Each structure stands twice: as C-alpha cells, then as structure tokens.
Structure 1
Amino acid sequence: MSQTTLSPTPLTIALLGEAVLRQQARPVPLPDPLVDRLAQQMHQKMEEQGGVGIAAPQVHHSLALMIIASRPNARYPDAPQMDPVVMANPGIEAQSSEQEKGWEGCLSVPGIRGRVSRPLWVDVRFDDLSGQRHHTRLEGFVARIFCHEFDHLCGLTFLDRVEDNRQLMATEVWLRKGLS
C-alpha cells in the first residue's frame, strides 16, 4: 500500500459524483499492516452506517479491498446473519445464469433504492489479509452483497445496473411501502 497513506482522521464515505467511485481499484499488496488498519477502519465505518458491505473506494481508497457482512438491521431486516469477511483482490470465477431482482441501497448513494438484477450465486476468489487465497460459493443475499461491493472495485454503482429508471425509489418511500 506504499502509494496510499492512511489518515489518522476517521474515514468518510465517498458520495456519488466523486471520482474515486468511477476508478478501477488497484490490487492490494499483502500482507501489509496499513491494509489491516484500513480494513479495521472500513469495518467500523460500515457498522456505524448500518451497511452490510463496504468497499475501499467508498472510503476514498482506490484499492481492491471489500468487506461483506450480512446481518439483519434497519436497512435490511431480512438479511441472513454471517460473520464479516474481508476480501482483498477478489474476483468472480463463475456465476449463475439465472438472475433475481432485488432492492439495493448504497452508503455512497444515500436516499435512493433501486431494483437490480444479480446472479443467484457466484463462485468467488479472494485473498485474506495474510495473503492466503480462498475460493467459495456465495448464494442469495450474500451473493448480491458481493456483486454490489465488487462493482465498486470496477468503478460502478448499483445505479449502473438499474435497467429502468422507474425501478428507482426514495429510501423513505421504500421503507414506507415495506419493500425488500
């Protein structure tokens, strides 16, 4: 992480329109204590914001680092419970051809929800913070989280995946309608 330095100040969320959200993320060298620290800070920010995932570009670091952490909360009351997984240098090896539409929101796109098609499952590879390579299959909502965060590493947001602008909704209306 020699090209990136960490600020001692708390991380802030990059918002739609900021250049970092449209950049291809750089690979992360591992192991690296600065990457470990960034992952800790990202996890804390995700928890503070009530997210179920976060990617380094969302906190102004164009690095291939993300966390998926499904759990029921106010934004996703029906989310399955899982331990957080830090993923460096992730990739998709295979995915289902069958897709499912679901409502997504994003810490970097506050106040808006959109219906997005995602694969039912994805086979993924990633490095843990020690540099060990892992391969796993993610399914359902957890696969959706992975794809959403992986898009951030490719310079995309969920808005780029919405097929029809009529599939966008203010979060306040989404909550009032009880959609999930």
Structure 2
Amino acid sequence: MSASDTPLVAARRARLKAWIRDQHAGSRKDFVAAAAARGVQLNPTEVSNLQTGQKSFGEKKAAELESAAGMPTGYLVAALDDPAMMSHAARLDAEIIRAAILLAKRALRLAHDQDLVIERDPEVFAQALLTAMAQRERMEATRRDEPGSGDGKARPVGSAARAPKDGTVTESAARRPRKRA
C-alpha cells in the first residue's frame, strides 16, 4: 500500500489481494493465467505493482481487472461500506450453495439424482459458485432499484403519480390526465 493511497484505493489493493488469495490460492501466476483463459492478457508485474502500491490503482484499472478476473461488477470500484461487496465467505449461505451445485450439475450434464463430486471438478464448482453469487447480487440490485422495494423511499410510478399543484390527490384524479392551464 502506498502512503498516498485514499481509503478507497487502499481497499482496492486489499480486495485484489484477497481475491487472489481466495480464488487463486495466493498465486498471482494463476490469477494472470485465469485472466488469459478469459481472453485477457495481464502483465504479472503490473498486477504485483497494483497490489503493493507501486502503481496507481484508479477506477478504470479496477473495472478492467474486475472484468478480466470475473469479479462481481463493482468489487474493486464500489464504496467501502457497500454491503454487496463484502467478502464472498460472508455472503455464502445454503441457498447459494444449492444454486451452485445445480449450475455445476448442468455444466457437467449430470442427472438430477447424480452426485456432484467437487474434488473431481473444483474449477466447475468454483465458477458455478461465482455465477450463483452474481445472480443473487443482480437480483438484490434489481430489488433495491424497484419502486416499493422496502427501502423507505417513495418513487413515482408514472405521470399519474404526480400530485397536482394544490397538493390534493383523489384516486380518480390520479387516474385521469391533468389539464394544463
């Protein structure tokens, strides 16, 4: 970490280190190889310099790494207090594990009653797990963005939802178009 890092940049560096540790057993070489398998060539020295603070780590570079590594969108870019970006281990639950198992079984073309042996295909299960987590993140983001999502914020549904200038609205007035003066 560089002494001049902002808290967000310091968090990016920490998240990148954690991703490499958790997803690639701490191997930068494996991280770069996984990106290459996705069709993205990364410079191992640049990745090292991003981790150690010898290279600037802006939002554009963070977004490029997220895409190259298959990280959830916003993992390196989002604000520190964004709960959607907490560690993967903290978000794992039985529902995600079941979804990942089903995805892995589909990928391996296993019948519903056949057992998935994770030791045989750990990469398939790991990818299925990331996919299941990303699906949940998208679903939660959609819920947060929907009107009436329970976040306590009122959102207009359409032009009929706007109150007239005098502030009174009846049910029938909300359904008919307002006349312009």
**Interval of TM-score (by shorter of Structure 1 and Structure 2):** under 0.3
Q: Which has the higher strand share?
A: 1
Which TM-score applies when normalising by structure 1?
A: 0.26
Higher relative contact order (CA 8 A, sep 6+): 1
Which TM-score applies when normalising by structure 2?
A: 0.26
